[in-house]
Amino acid sequence: MGTVPAWWHELTAFAAARYHPGGAMTILRKTARGILIAEPTVSAQQILHRCLTVDESTTLTVRALTAFFTGRGLALPDDEAQQRAAARRQRCLDAIPAPLRPAVIAFDRAQLDERDRDRRAGRRQLSDITLETRLRILRDLANHLMTARHITGWAEVTSGDLEVYLARTPSSRHQQTYVLRRFFGWAKRRKLILTNPTQRLRLGSQPGFTGTVLGIAKQRTLFRRWTSDAVHPHERLIGLLALLHAASNAEIRTLTVTNVDPSRQAVQLSGRPFPTPLDPATWAALDACLLHRIELHTLNPHLVVTGVTRTRDTPADSTYLTRALASSGTTPSACRQTRLAQLVTDLDPKLTAAALGMHDTGLVRYLADNVDHDRIKRTIR
């Protein structure tokens, strides 16, 4: 290289500490020969874009350079999750008949603008799943309207048309009616329609909780299993965090070493307003995870480190948590649902939502009136 970048020696140390010698040499060789020698003044952000076109075997190099540059603030991360979500939304929009598509595209753009305003204001934002669900409902409605009777615009839709559509799936009436009210209300304000056909629609009853709730005997069996030193530390920590502290997959996966407070024996789970104090059993499982992490000789900052992420800075895959609990006969979601049902029944949806950083309307479905009475009795006995 004619000109050595200021960050080159740091990159060398970064690659040598995380990868085997052959892998580290591959990263340095592809970065130097493929990009820096041809363009010595290229920026870190440009390197991330151009290293994808060097050849087909750049996965290791791209992953290493992305972690290195973004971790040191030299480049902005490429948000692949947002790109995939945008592609899924675009597929929904493309499946809408042409006469009805422009209005739905404008509605989707308005939702994205609303999410951007909420992000800047620090308010709760619409998730990608919510945006995609709304588009799927509008897509199905548009296709139904074009099949039932050919229309040329949303202004021709009547309340009777919507009732016929909602009658197809009575169990989803609550969610579908809510989405239709938002869309047609937005269209009325934009003067795309003269009257709102959803004003007379009856909002269906909110669907109750139908997930898995573990019985008290099963909970005791799992607790005894996860307090044994013979069980893998990852299984113990994942199970106890989900069963006792209602931790979600995302909260467990993104838990890092810096989120652990040994002085108070608490952890800061992402999305929760306050640190979560741990009971002695969960803290012992966390200590075992820390020892296991030291044995791996990894620089990955996350607490749950797998064989795949040992040489990376990324969190473990969401499927790993499910596989970790497979031998115990349960799943993290079942453990979390059990704890949520207990908290909402014993306390209050608003108090539980405030403690867990959730929305109280999403926890109402866990109330005793919406959960099978026999399962509730077994759970809280």
| CATH code of residue 355 | 1.10.443.10
Q: Which two tokens stand for residue 27?
A: 């990263």
Is pLDDT at 369 greater than 80 in this prediction?
no
Q: What is the three-state SS of 113-129?
A: HHHHHHHHHCCCCCCHH
Q: Which two tokens stand for residue 113?
A: 């603008």
Note down the domain range covering 324. 216-380
Report the residue count for the chain.
Answer: 381
Identify the bridge partners of residue 276 per DSSP, sorted by sequence position.
Answer: 267
Q: Quick check: is 1 in a domain?
A: no
Is pLDDT at 213 greater than 50 in this prediction?
yes
Q: What is the DSSP string of 41-89?
A: T--HHHHHHHGGGS-S--HHHHHHHHHHHHHTTSS----HHHHHHHHHH
- Asked if 47 and 139 sit in the same domain, the reply is no
Q: Which two tokens stand for residue 324?
A: 């970790």
- Asked if 237 and 307 sit in the same domain, the reply is yes
Residues 266/277, Cβ–Cβ less than 8 Å: yes
Is pLDDT at 276 greater than 60 in this prediction?
yes
Q: Answer with the residue of higher pLDDT: 244 or 36.
A: 244
SS3 content of the chain, % helix, strand, coil (to 5): 60, 0, 35
Residues 296/287, Cβ–Cβ less than 8 Å: no
Residues 42/36, Cβ–Cβ less than 8 Å: yes
Q: What pTM value is reported for the model?
A: 0.64
- Asked if 268 and 220 sit in the same domain, the reply is yes
Q: Quick check: is 211 in a domain?
A: no
- Asked if 56 and 84 sit in the same domain, the reply is no
Q: Quick check: is 297 in a domain?
A: yes
Q: Quick check: is 224 in a domain?
A: yes
Give the Cβ contact number of residue 35 at 10 Å.
19
- Asked if 362 and 278 sit in the same domain, the reply is yes
Residues 268/288, Cβ–Cβ less than 8 Å: no
Q: What pLDDT was estimated at residue 53?
A: 55
- Asked if 265 and 296 sit in the same domain, the reply is yes
Percent of the chain scoring above 70 in pLDDT? 87
pLDDT in tens, 62-96: 778 877 887 777 776 666 667 788 888 999 999 99
How many domains is the chain built from? Answer: 3
Q: What is the DSSP string of 344-371?
A: HHHS-HHHHHHHHT--HHHHGGGSTTTS
- Asked if 323 and 375 sit in the same domain, the reply is yes
Q: What pLDDT was estimated at residue 54?
A: 52
- Asked if 177 and 246 sit in the same domain, the reply is no
Q: Quick check: is 209 in a domain?
A: no
- Asked if 237 and 368 sit in the same domain, the reply is yes
- Asked if 178 and 228 sit in the same domain, the reply is no
> Which of residues 42, 71, 100 is at a domain's end?
71
Residue 355 CB burial class (10 angstroms; 0-12, 13-18, ≥19): middle
